[in-house]
Structure 1
Amino acid sequence: MRPENEEELSGMVRAAASPLRIMGGGTRDIGKPLTGAALSMSAMSGITLYEPGALTLVARAGTPLADVEEALAREGQRLAFEPPDMRALLSTQGVPSVGGMVAANASGPRRVQAGACRDSLIGVRFVDGTGAVIKNGGRVMKNVTGYDLVKLMAGSWGTLGILTECSFKLLPVPETQATLCSAPMSIEDAGKVMSAAMGTPYEVTGAARTPDGHVYLRVEGFERQVAYRCGQLRDVLGGAWDILDAPASAAQWLGIRDVRAFAECTGDVWRISLQPSAAPAVLARAEWPVIMDWAGGLLWLLTPEGVDLRAQLGEFAGHATLVRGSQVTRTRLSVFPPQSPPLAAISQGIRQKFDPRGVLNPGLTG
């Protein structure tokens, strides 16, 4: 199925007698393996509104992300949250789309400074599991459901509704960027350095440690400001730091954003979100290659195939998601973090509200 407008999509959902497998751009094969009729949003494409002066863009859900980024680049603007491209890591061949990005709440290294995808999202339109067209936020009707639907839809993985249109606030592209690169250091020392850097007034927009132990700190802005802030960071942090110029800096952060260090490696890939201060203690229980992003608040771990990372780590204050694994592993293990009984009851109640028949990606997040 490939609807071309909301009316067709609504009719397809209402007529569905069995589960629907919602497809955005087909680049994020994450979650429990699904059965059911594939419903592709690729035909519902195009930028419907772009006002550079108002830093606002509205695009249909099937719009290739590359089209949006190209249009923004012509005006010297960008999406603030640096959405990652998972194709290399997951060995997928699709095209990243606006709807898929929002459904996954896909957010890259700049999240430490600019927030997540949901923080830049100002409006959504979607079709729920009954076939009703719902709109909320941005330039559309005021929501009267009692839910903040804009935030609710970001990261819902198509289980509450099928996104048809998304509205974003934008940011200007800085004049330049540079990145400080350290000598290899331990996970504990890296955590301390990244925390110290984020606590300075020098507006670090990326803080990460790669598997080889190097710490990278990104600064963006006007050329003179960037040079000054890099110098100040060097003085505050101490130690030896190299500085990557703008092209090298951009290339380095593209690799961190897309988890490319693990793309050609065999094994499963897990994503852990937690308080940055908790990262060293958690990683002490898992001696596998790791990328630390978001100043230690996001960990990417490469484990042997089939490892139950949650069992390995035990209790910790955070969430572990299996991003890459075989279908056998994704069937055997809970892909997304298990919820406590009270939270699971709330989630089930919300899903019942928006998809009472259980036709939208049922079981994906189970």
Structure 2
Amino acid sequence: MSASPLSPEYIKIRHAHRQFITPEGGIINALDDISLSIAQSEFITLLGPSGCGKTTLLKIVAGFEELDSGDILLDGQSIIQQPAHKRPVNTVFQSYALFPHMTVGDNVGYGLDIAKVNKIERNQRVAEALNMVGLSGIEQRLPSQLSGGQQQRVALARAIINRPKLLLLDEPLSALDKNLRLQMQLELKNLQSELGICFIFVTHDQEEALTMSDRIVVLNGGKIEQVGSPDEIYHTPKTEFVAKFIGESNILSGIVINKSETEIEVDCNGLTLHSFDTKPELGEEVKLLLRPEHLSLTPNDHEGARAQLTMKLNQTVFIGTDYQLHGELQNGQSFSALTRKTNTPLVNGSELTLYYQVNALHTIPSKKKSTKGHI
């Protein structure tokens, strides 16, 4: 029985493990017991630094790499024994991999030619695919006569023409300039919605992942750090790695010294901060995340701002509408804030009072108790 479009188990990766032996004789766990379920019409992004395992996982789903152990199910059926060319999966590569001697129409229709689809249907489907990616009427051009963005669209048209159940995208936008990349992010998301199939997208670009994804899978060292919506990943990271990897962050270490039903106080080496996150226990060591954009120079900039701290200003960077402020707190820790143009003098060496909403301070539990006394 086929899974419904909303089923979270249309694609199911079970305990995937893949090792590589280095030239020096060592072992790298590229995938270390990865399990993941994906819905049929979901845009999911594999995000992480180089070497985290995201491309290895994509290649294994595509059939270009083999698992050492584990399984991959598509619509309830295991596909690990199927060769790549027989899987109902297509891949768009970073390099686009267009045939330079073939016209656009022949590049897009190549898969149909291999499948011996009759010429009338083949030409109709080529035209439909090109229209879907906004390239109608260029069937006779060669790849060398196209811009980078047009080549990327041709690669997409070639990938979707066979009507795959799953489309894999391996950093397909990385070679584009910033403005075109931003445009293509929105177009890819719209295309995925129109096709109604699952896209698995690989990137190391945080902004790209946050912009396009229904869910993000953050990978590190062959393991999954966190799976969640862009909002969850950004605002409530579960680990320090995710907090540091996604967006700009201020992370402080502290001990919960006071706790009520609605609030905790955390001692960060002599600096006391307040949070509404009451999950940590009294005496627990925690990491605190405070995004630079959640800080302001006046208490009324954010509704409900009621906590403050002092930063010695070391550097100011103007980035158009905003100022990046870099300095250090009274406990000596480096700290950053992002604020709009202000009448407050920004003089290096001066002390600035920064305000933040208590509910903007997110805690990352370390699951350890402090040996120090607490109030």
TM-score range, shorter chain: under 0.3
Structure that is richer in helix per residue:
1
Q: TM-score with structure 2 length normalisation?
A: 0.24
> Rg larger in 1 or in 2?
2
Higher RCO (Cα < 8 Å, 6 or more apart): 1
